[in-house]
Amino acid sequence: MWGGRFAAGPDAIMEAINASIDFDKRMARQDIEGSRAHAAMLAACGIITSSDGEAIREGLLTVLSEIEAGEFTFSKELEDIHMNVESRLKDLIGEPAGRLHTGRSRNDQVATDFKLWTRDQFDGAIDGLDALMGALLGQAEAGADIVMPGFTHLQVAQPVTWGHHMMAYVEMFARDKSRMQDARVRMNESPLGAAALAGTAYPIDRDMTAKALGFDRPSANSLDAVSDRDFALEFLSCASICATHLSRFAEELVIWSSAQFRFVVLSDRFSTGSSIMPQKKNPDAAELIRAKVGRINGSLVALLTIMKGLPLAYSKDMQEDKEQVFDAADSLMLALAAMTGMVGDMKPNVDSLRESAAMGFSTATDLADWLVRELGLPFRDAHHATGALVKMAEDKGCDLPELSLKEMQSAHPEINQSVYSVLGVDNSVASRASYGGTAPDQVREQVARWNGKLK
């Protein structure tokens, strides 16, 4: 490959550190797709003959079929997927294979391959998020009336509905999808034709190759085109935020499925047992999803660190970009699929959710609001009066609705019997009918809105 510049081959250690074929062979399809587009453009521009262009394109299809059939022998001596493909192409078609690399460099070639591969991952993640959001919408619609505790500081705060809680994650994952869509648009410029760093003297048509590969346009600066890895960083950033959301939900599922909470039953398909304790049903899928964010965040930090000190244009350091993105993409796709499966199968424990929703004086805010609304108290005075009643109930070991009217009036003499109408959990959630609130009708409106958007 190096021609006449080097008199001796690389040391074995140099070969080991330099070779990337063990991992970049994952981009074989993208590499061949890019090379076929490049060959077609060279022929159309008269840079190579039509017959050579056709031989190259057909030969590349043969190489791809060998790779997909598992019949291709990858060589570390050839370093990477690009040279492995080109070498095999020469075996198949002879001299015309040597014309394929006209007007390009491995620098713009690898940038193109990597962009194509990453773009596919964006598309896969967007599809995975759509599936997960669909599963959450199914839970939300079925559980719009199911009352459960809402928490702050992992302490019971106010009653909410199961559907409302599910819709919170729909909103989170929708933002993840939006970020990925935005990043996909931003990355969709073709590096092909930027060559090593300065462009090429050949009369190539970069618009033609960009269009053939589904890019919106060619990149406008050849130095930037070969050294840009923003798209990989954005993928990792989007993946990290999405994985954080997955991890938060996974944490809730771990807690909710415990014997102490009994909020939800996870299916056997996404649970495991114990080798010694026959009673155990462990939420291992949720725990592993929770752990994936560590790997994905690590990949983001690794690539940020790799890129932070690189001068323009290409440096070999950038070979270390792909394994980080490959691993993060694998982790994210698996986590999305597992979470979608768990959400689709899980069953809320309606009785436990309702019982817990009434604990911890969860309707205290409803009482304070009643004092403001019905008696005209300033909210701070209502807050103080309600706090005194909570303390009284706590001392008696009962809940607010169990206090007598006389006890209620000790906090404010104008409290009357109608106060009890706001203290039930069903009344509480029904009253939260402001836009985006937990009231069942609001939940159904949001479910319908999102079902329409996803369709």
Catalytic center residues: 153, 274
**How many helices, marked H, and strands, marked E, lie in the chain?**
18, 6
Q: Which of 367, 344, 346 is nearest to 420 (CA)?
A: 367
The DSSP code sequence of 159-177 is EEEHHHHHHHHHHHHHHHH
How far, in Å, CA of 147 to CA of 31, rounded? 53
Q: Which of 142, 179, 178 is nearest to 161 (CA)?
A: 142
End-to-end Cα, the chain, rounded Å: 51
Strand pairing class (155-161; 189-190): unpaired
| Other residues' Cβ atoms within 10 Å of the Cβ of residue 183 | 20
Q: Name the strand (E) or helix (H) holding 148.
A: strand 147-152
How far, in Å, CA of 345 to CA of 271, rounded? 11
How far, in Å, CA of 266 to CA of 286, rounded? 10
Q: Which residues contact 335 (CB under 8 A, 6 or more apart)?
A: 243, 246, 288, 289, 292
How far, in Å, CA of 129 to CA of 239, rounded? 11
Q: Which residues of 394-430 are buried (b: 16+ CB within 10 A; e: fewer)?
A: eeeeebbeebeeebbeebbeebeeebbebbbbeebbb
Q: Which residues contact 33 (CB under 8 A, 6 or more apart)?
A: 116, 213
Q: Which residues contact 374 (CB under 8 A, 6 or more apart)?
A: 418, 419
From the number of C-beta atoms within 10 Å of its C-beta (0-12, 13-18, 19+), residue 347 rates as exposed
